[in-house]
Structures are given as C-alpha cells and as structure tokens.
DNA sequence: CGACTGGGAGGGACCGCTCCCACGAACGGC
DNA sequence: GCCGTTCGTGGGAGCGGTCCCTCCCAGTCG
C-alpha cells in the first residue's frame, strides 16, 4: 500500500492524510507522491469504523418524490443546505425513503452511515422519525407534525426545529385582503397532515375570526397546481361568492388561476388573491401574485448549521423561527 | 453484544442477520429476540469493510440543484429508479456534487461508500465522470456529452448508457409541423453542452434540411420557462416570421407561450408548436401541447436495472435506447 | 560530556463485522 | 456397530483505517 511505497509507517500515512501538524515536510511529500502514483483513496468504511465519523449528512425525502421535487421550496432549501455544507467537511446525501421497506432506511440511518439527518416537510404519518433523534442528531426543517397532538406512543424526544411562523404568515396574508376592502375571504388550504398546511389554515381562521364572516369557505389541495385547480373548482361549485382568497401555496394558486380564468372571473377585479412562496409561479402567473416570501435559502443554511453544531456536541436552541415578509404584486 | 445475550457466537448472529439458511429455528428466535430487546442495528461501516459491499447506489446530481429539481423529467426518472431499487436490497442516495470541492465527491464515490453510481444529464463540462467507470460500476442516464467529441485526455473507458433517441424524436416532432402545412419552422434549442439539448437541435436540423428553408431560425434556452421566454423574445425580435416552432422542452415551451400571448400571436393559428416531455406543462398550458413523450419512469427502471446487473458482474449491453412517442394535442 | 527534553515516527490493539475452516454431533448405509 | 456424511456452530483471521503508547534521536542545558 501507500506506506510501503513511501517508506513510512501506516501511522504516518494516516497523519498525512488527516493533515496532522506533526509530520516532517519530507515525509509529507513522500506520502503525497505515493498517494498520487497509486491513485489511493482512503476507504471510508474502514475510516468510519475506526473513527466513528462518516462526515456525511442525509436529507430524508419521502418516496413520493414527484411532489417533493416539483416544489421549488425544497429545491431552494436544499440548495441552502448544500451551500452551507459545501464549506464544511460534510458531504450531503439525499436519502429516498422507501416506504415499503422502512427497515432499509432505518439501517442506513442507525447503522452509522451518516453523522446526522435532516427531515424536511414531515408528515403526521411517518411518526417513526420523531424518535430518530434519540439515536442520531436530527434537525427538522419545518415543525414535525405530531407536536400538535398528544404523543401517542411514549415520550417524544425533544427535536431541534428550524421553521417559519406559518400561522402569523397566513394571518398577515389574509388580513391584507381584508385591509384592501375584501369582505368574503375564502381559502385553499394545504394537506392537514403537514405543519405548513395545518398552520396556514389556522392562521387564516385567526384572521377570519376577527370578522363577521362564517369561516366555512375552505377547500383543500395538496400544494400542487392540479390540487389548486380542483380545490378552486370545488369552491366555485358550492355557489357561495367570495371576493378574496388566501391560497396556501403559489403552486396551488397557479392551478386555481387557470380555473378562475376559465370561468371568466377576473383577478384582482372579482377576486383578490394572496398566497405563500415567492417562486416562479408567484412571479410569473397572470397577474403576478401578492405573496408571503419565506427565506428559503437562509432556512437551508440555518438548518445545516444547526445540525453541524448538534453533531459537534455544541448546545443549540431547540427552535429557530425565521422571518417572513409580504410582497405586494398585482393580485390584490 | 447480541451474541452474548442470545447465548450463541458472533458467527451465528451474523448468519441470522444475513438470513443464512443453515441455522436452527431455535437459534434464529433466540437471536432475533436478543436483537429486538437490544435494539441492535448492524454497523454498516464494519459490515461493508468486511464484505466489500455497501448496498447503496448514488445518483450524482450537479450542485446547481434548482434546475435539476424543477425539471419533472428528473423527478420521474428518479422515481423509476427508486421504484426498481425498492424491490432490491439496495438503498438509493442522491449525492449533491459540490463543484467547489470535487474531491469530496470523489472520496465518497471512490472511497467505497457506494456500490455503483448513476449519472443523469451529464454536462460536457464535468468530464471527470467519464473516467469514473474504471473504478466503479456506472450507468449514464442519457448519453454523456463528450462522446460526440474526440477524447481530450487519454482513452475514455466504455460507459454504459440508457438513453432515448433524441435526434429521431426531434426530427419526428419537426416533420410533424411540416406535415401539417407549416413552412417556416423555428426552434428553441436546449443547452448545447448537454446531449438532450445538442441532439434535439441536430434532429431539427435534419428535418429542416429536407426543406428549402434557411436553417437559421434558432434560439437557445436552458430548458427552463424563463429560458424559453427569453429565447422566444429573441426570436421575435429578429423580425423573421415563422409559422411553426419546435421547442426542445415543454418547460421552455411554457415560457415561450407567455411571450406569444403577450404579442397577441395565436397558437396554433399563427404559430404551431411541438415540444418534448409530456409533463404538467405540456398538458396544462393553453393550448395543451403536442409533444414527444419519453418513457420517463421506464427509463429510470432500466437505468437502475442496468446498474444492478453491472454490480452483480452480469454482462449488460452498453447502450439501451428506449422508444418515444408523439402525442397529438391542440398546439398544431 | 552526560542527562534531560520533546517532537517525529513506528508498533500494535482495536473498531464490528464477514467468512473460511475446523470441530462435533447426529444420522444413515453397509 | 463402525465409518463416512452432513449440517449446525464456534473460533479466529482479516477488512483498512485510527489512535494511543512507546521508542528513538537530535538538540539543549547543567
């Protein structure tokens, strides 16, 4: 191996590879030369077996990849994560969790293949991840879902969370409609088994509660354009009129807009819209949408930073809430 | 450890964990019980060090994640890959390649962390991956780019490729416009450093070459909606008229449509459109687009299958070309 | 000039698992 | 009843690193 060619011991090779300060320049150059000619790459398995470190971090993503991938939100957050991790010694890996074979994911995570895990967009359904942090450093991007509800099986370990205040954000977006003279405000809410869906409906309700309106103008979508379409169709089919609507994601808003256009309903003339996520859809629909912007990239950075600190054993705040801001466009 | 609690040797534990047939039912139940009470998860590093297998496969994705994620094509292909791998013992991992620190990716891939790698959408720029297959089983989803050009540094090892015939597909799509009476056919081509972009332009040229048309009605985009927008603006700004256009991706077509609408140019009245990728954009734009459909999920399955066979040392065809088909809609 | 000091290099145990080999018991055939 | 098989099990040698401990040698000081 390398040690023989360089004429030194394995210990010295290890020191050179790990940039230990106490090595003679001569030894360093001999070893690097040997590494070069041999095309040597240290075996990660052996290394992590001995050192109990892998320097890789996993982002766990649900198997139903289509939804995950198509949402610019995740792309941006992951970009933020990757950016931060790029400056560290950690490698980022996205782990596709096969729902049919959860033990594969478990083996990977608990078998020491990674130093820590990131969970974005947690569903109420996969409660397994709530326990993960007792085995492994874990950070949730967005509050995990069961925290709203009583723990069903044993105590849930304290989880580290980086989130935005979805309730406040949607209250703001809904009030904005009211402040601009709209009186009957509907909403298209997201999936109720995800915090972003749940909390944004809570926020809408909070704003509506301050008015005399009957809070029943709700339809549900799955955060995708087709989901927004069918939710809007459902809302229109009910025959109740509304002059403003808060839509829980710009992708749904995009789908909903198509339906409004079909029905000859003008925006913002007949119906004003506010939504969440300042992405391509919000910026480029007709008209461009007034929306709540989340600091997506910063969110990613913060999540990554939190996890790395956790791995290093530093003490980190359990909850970090990032600010949002409202961007005014032509849809109101 | 587990062996002590179960009252057997480590060898027997290993046999049980690896489902070896030659173990007494009694021993099996004793070991599984011990595993259960101890919450034992085998250490992957130790295991892969000893067995030289990791049972994980990486999809390498370029750092500029935004483009990658937002393209439904990748989501579908990866879904296909994940589906196939879900039925095997392999775990799928997406490796975000930090371009600023290529050695991190190299260590991960060549350091024995994975049994094989998948490369989707290879750019001409990252030639490093062309050599990867001499170290590791590798399959390219879509022909790697330098294959068109003379090797610049040493011999390129033979790479396994799963692809669609992009040239034929775009020729078909362009001819379709001609067959429907269009006479001046433009194109919005994709990035020329990617095979999908390059080949689709070649295909368009091939169809145009059969006509008397001057083949200069080309603008370039980056496969995204904004890219399609600016390409269309550029095309219109040139002042040359055209009554048909082949757009190399439906996302670009989506952006281009916005511009046509702005300019009051009707589709298909004034300009007919064909494109590639039967995704949400093609199906839901106004009007819905005639397009070439790629068998995206099947492509993923085929890619995964090929890689697993390669890892198992089976002999596999170096090139597998999947069929495409044209779907007629209202844009022509 | 000898003893002390400290930094660089080597030796070997060990990380947790796999896998080969050897051992012993049970069983069947002659 | 003895020997040859077969099958389950245990023992031990690695896999390729890390890291602690020891050793050696050169430089310094009394």
The CATH class for the domain spanning A166-294 reads alpha beta
Q: Which has more confidence, B213 or B300?
A: B300
- Partner-chain contact B41 A85, CB within 8 Å: no
In chain A, residues under CATH classification 1.10.260.40 are: 2-42
Please tell me the distance from the alpha carbon of residue B286 to that of residue A84, in angstroms, as a whole number.
40
Suggest the residue from B91, B136, B225, B260 to mutate for an interface test with chain A (most A CBs closer than 10 A).
B91
In chain B, residues under CATH classification 3.40.50.2300 are: 56-164+298-322, 166-294
For residue B54, the chain A residues in CB contact (below 8 A) are 45
In chain A, residues under CATH classification 3.40.50.2300 are: 56-163+298-322, 166-294
A264 backbone φψ class: left, alpha, beta (φ>0; ψ -120 to 50): left
Q: Give percent of chain B above pLDDT 70.
A: 97
Rounded mean pLDDT, A297-318? 95
In this structure, what token pair is assigned to residue A28?
């360093």
| DSSP secondary structure of A96-127 | EE-TT-HHHHHHHHHTTS-SEEEEES-BSS-T
Whether A86 has its CB under 8 Å from any CB of chain B: the answer is yes
Strand C nucleotides, any atom under 7 Å to a protein CB: 7-12, 14-20
- Partner-chain contact B107 A44, CB within 8 Å: yes
How distant is C1' of C24 from CA of B35, in Å? Answer: 28
CB within 7 A of strand D: which residues qualify? A 1, 10-11, 13-14, 17-18, 40, 42-43, 46-47, 49-51; B 7-12, 15, 21-24, 26-27, 46, 49-50
- Partner-chain contact A66 B79, CB within 8 Å: yes
Residues 262-291 of A with CB under 8 A from B: 280, 284
Q: Which residues contact B116 (CB under 8 A, 6 or more apart)?
A: B57, B58, B136, B137, B138, B139, B307, B308, B310, B311
Whether A110 has its CB under 8 Å from any CB of chain B: the answer is yes
Q: Which has more confidence, A188 or B124?
A: A188
Q: Minimum mean pLDDT among A164-173, A252-261, B59-68: which range? A: B59-68
- Among candidates A65, A94, A107 on the partner chain, residue whose Cβ is nearest the Cβ of B44: A107
- Burial of A135 (C-beta count, 10 Å sphere; 0-12/13-18/19+): middle
pLDDT at A69 over 90: no
Whether B297 has its CB under 8 Å from any CB of chain A: the answer is no
Confidence grade of residue A50 (pLDDT, cut at 50, 70, 90): very high
- The confidence score (pLDDT) of residue A154 equals 61
- Burial of B205 (C-beta count, 10 Å sphere; 0-12/13-18/19+): middle
- Burial of A277 (C-beta count, 10 Å sphere; 0-12/13-18/19+): buried
Q: Minimum mean pLDDT among A120-124, B175-179, B252-256, B264-268: which range? A: A120-124
Q: How many CA atoms lie within 13 A of B311 on its CB side?
A: 24
Please tell me the distance from the alpha carbon of residue B13 to that of residue B17, in angstroms, as a whole number.
6
Handedness of CA A226, B322, B246, B188 (dihedral sign): positive
DSSP run (H or E) holding A187 = strand A185-189
Q: Which CATH superfamily is domain B56-164+298-322 in?
A: Response regulator (3.40.50.2300)
**In the block, which residue shows the tokens 């839901």?**
B284
How far does A301 lie from chain B, in Å, by closest CA? 15
How far does B271 lie from chain A, in Å, by closest CA? 22
Q: Which residues pair with B62 in a beta bridge?
A: B97
Confidence grade of residue A153 (pLDDT, cut at 50, 70, 90): low
Instruction: State the pairing for strand pair A160-164/A319-322.
Output: parallel
- Among candidates B69, B89, B95 on the partner chain, residue whose Cβ is nearest the Cβ of A69: B69
Confidence grade of residue B151 (pLDDT, cut at 50, 70, 90): very low
- Partner-chain contact B44 A111, CB within 8 Å: yes
Please tell me the distance from the alpha carbon of residue A164 to that of residue A142, in angstroms, as a whole number.
7
Q: Minimum mean pLDDT among A107-116, B32-41, B122-131, B194-203: which range? A: B122-131
Q: Architecture of domain A56-163+298-322 in CATH?
A: 3-Layer(aba) Sandwich (3.40)
In this structure, what token pair is assigned to residue B289?
């687009």
- Partner-chain contact B91 A94, CB within 8 Å: no
Q: Which CATH superfamily is domain B2-42 in?
A: lambda repressor-like DNA-binding domains (1.10.260.40)
Whether B225 has its CB under 8 Å from any CB of chain A: the answer is yes
């Amino acid at each position: 191996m390398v040690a023989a060619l360089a004429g030194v011991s394995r210990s010295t090779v290890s020191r050179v590879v790990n940039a230990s300060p106490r090595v003679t320049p001569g030894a360093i150059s001999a070893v690097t030369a040997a590494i070069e000619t041999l095309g040597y790459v240290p075996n990660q398995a052996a290394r992590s077996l001995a050192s109990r470190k892998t320097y890789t971090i996993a982002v766990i993503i649900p198997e139903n990849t289509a939804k995950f991938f198509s949402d610019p939100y995740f792309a941006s957050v992951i970009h933020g994560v990757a950016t931060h991790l790029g400056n560290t010694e950690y490698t980022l890996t996205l782990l596709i969790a096969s729902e049919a074979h959860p033990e594969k994911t478990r083996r990977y995570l608990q078998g020491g293949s990674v130093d820590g895990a990131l969970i974005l967009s947690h569903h109420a359904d996969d409660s397994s991840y709530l326990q993960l942090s007792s085995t492994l450093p874990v950070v949730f991007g967005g509050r995990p879902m069961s925290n709203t509800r009583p723990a069903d099986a044993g105590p849930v370990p304290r989880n580290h969370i980086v989130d935005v205040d979805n309730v406040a954000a949607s209250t703001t977006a809904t009030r904005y409609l009211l402040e601009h003279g709209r009186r009957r405000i509907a909403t298209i809410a997201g999936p109720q088994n995800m915090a972003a869906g749940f909390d944004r409906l809570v926020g809408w309700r909070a704003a509506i509660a301050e008015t005399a309106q009957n809070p029943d103008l709700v339809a549900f979508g799955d955060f995708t354009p087709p989901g927004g379409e069918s939710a809007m169709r459902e809302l229109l089919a009910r025959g109740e009129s509304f002059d403003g609507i808060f839509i829980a994601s710009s992708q749904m808003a995009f789908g909903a807009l198509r339906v409004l256009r079909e029905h000859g309903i003008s925006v913002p003339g007949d119906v004003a819209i506010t939504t969440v996520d300042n992405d391509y859809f919000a910026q480029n629909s007709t008209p461009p949408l007034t929306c709540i912007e989340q600091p997506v990239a910063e969110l990613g950075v913060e999540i990554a930073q939190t996890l790395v600190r956790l791995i290093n054993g530093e003490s980190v705040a359990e909850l970090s809430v990032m600010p949002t801001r409202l961007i005014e466009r032509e849809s109101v």
